[in-house]
Structure 1
């Protein structure tokens, strides 16, 4: 059958539209690669049948579905939080806008704009409002350290802040109070820590200006657990009068399967271990984790460890989860990276609506917990009489045995 040049071009266009990722043009060439589509030559190329087209369509559909399912599975694995979903959608929107700008040739460069955080009129010992510096990079009236910290994650930190805990504003310097203020808060937080080189470890004499200031930002909620939790949507940081040093997770710069399973934080008060011992069938393991708060590192040696006594806390210069970098000043080299905490603040961040929702969820969780404890503590006269009859209030155990029974009921 003789095929004209126009017929060949039309057929080629149809095939390219049908099988866009196939090299259809090679089908019009001979085995040696020579062009056989000349008008004067005879071509054996035949138009594909309906069955052939249907077979190719099914194959293309199967390949496309496989790629779609794989991408969907990867999204489900890496999709750690609502914030990460929002960020991915925002990135797609920004990419679309960037392409539109490139088409219109209206924008040659992208300028990073950081909003100044709003502390809602609350005071902070870490960001005094009276502090002023001469710098073109700092907005008028904004604390320079606060603004530089916000540049670590402008979407979350360059928004409304709400103070959840402050040791200098009536909450008291207490690890227990700290845990109580952040327990059940379902939103991103900034933990700010101030102190001095540990007096019990310091090799020399501590001066008045030997201060340390560091912290931790996370988009994950704090929970009490003996296991690590939390995604890599976080970073450690240190502060001095003029600068903020950010130390981010190493997994941000690599995309390995092991990085998806890494966890970065834990909160393990000793009261949690005591409760676990009282509860029936409770696991006795603690994974070797030290009591207090741990960030990075391992359960037995975190990168940043806040003890329950808030004394002899430690901040190491490196670990396998975060980038290397000193969290403490050089003065702490003489205290073997140990420091004593004398002030702590925790701020909820992410914007007013997020903060309101997180506070409401926290209040609801506390109400439910209080109701459960009150119900467990109710002991009627009959139960007390049963305790006497069973010998829990008399004999060797005495009232202590009955107290342990009530404690176990409260824990459960």
Structure 2
């Protein structure tokens, strides 16, 4: 089937969703969660085909890899989304004009949302659940790295859609070719919004070539600043968690910024990081501080390329600063506007950090690992928006709606 024909069918399916009740959606998603568990062996078999084609040393390997535990997590997230309140049909504003016109501003679905993403098959389940719960059909364009995994997952989703009497074209998976990507980006009239998830290169390509609206879910170059008034014990645990909990995700720590008056604490931080074999690219002062205690094969002198890099692996950089303002300057220079953190017991520093750091999520005394929809109480997210129009930070159900004005009259006409 030609791409345009597929997109037309998805558009038609999106219109049918306007007549679907939220209880039907809830029951469908709960059943899909059960099917994900029941079909886990099938999913893992297809996922292994993808894994066999990728170098295990590739930073994307961990993102590509599914497991029984991860499938259980995916299923639980879908159940959480299923039980959330629908974001559609909410009255945002209501007024009655002097002429008697009743005017309401009401949330509505976008219609068809296109997602372009790389080697993360969990996204296929997440995106579908969020789109359906918010009344949207979705067009998925996964990367060739996850082709078998994505095909397996979409086949399960379509079976459940048909079981519940929904149009199976509510979800469409496009082939993994480059030409299909170009067609998707030019699909005016069929797709209402494009959301790219992946590398900065992918995001730049989508932004520069799309002729339909794009919401950027950008790269996560995340910093944590350990201030001169920081608590060392908190700092050690926060830094370790932010870097090592899951290093291949966008909220993982990439650069530790540390005040020079607290460099002595770096030895303790480094000892903890060495437990997970974290490679450190340290600036001159930090390098001298830990070279006698950190494994030589894991310690390197930082270069300019060490900063402003999303490592997506057990690697990080360390930058020493002489003042709070210097820390702000470094972070704002290299930030991707994703997640930034400060560790300090000084409330004035915290308040200034919140105001001066330009990021979608700004933390004080906590790990940046919390930046995702489930941890914010949003159920799950379709991506972390690093832009400022419409949505910013974890994009969950509310961010997948637009609105329309509903005007109720009783014969009113406007005077000439």
Judge same fold: TM > 0.5, yes or no: no
Structure number with greater CO (CA < 8 Å, separation at least 6) is 2
TM-score normalized with structure 2 length: 0.21
The structure richer in strand per residue is: 2
Larger radius of gyration: 1
TM-score normalized with structure 1 length: 0.21
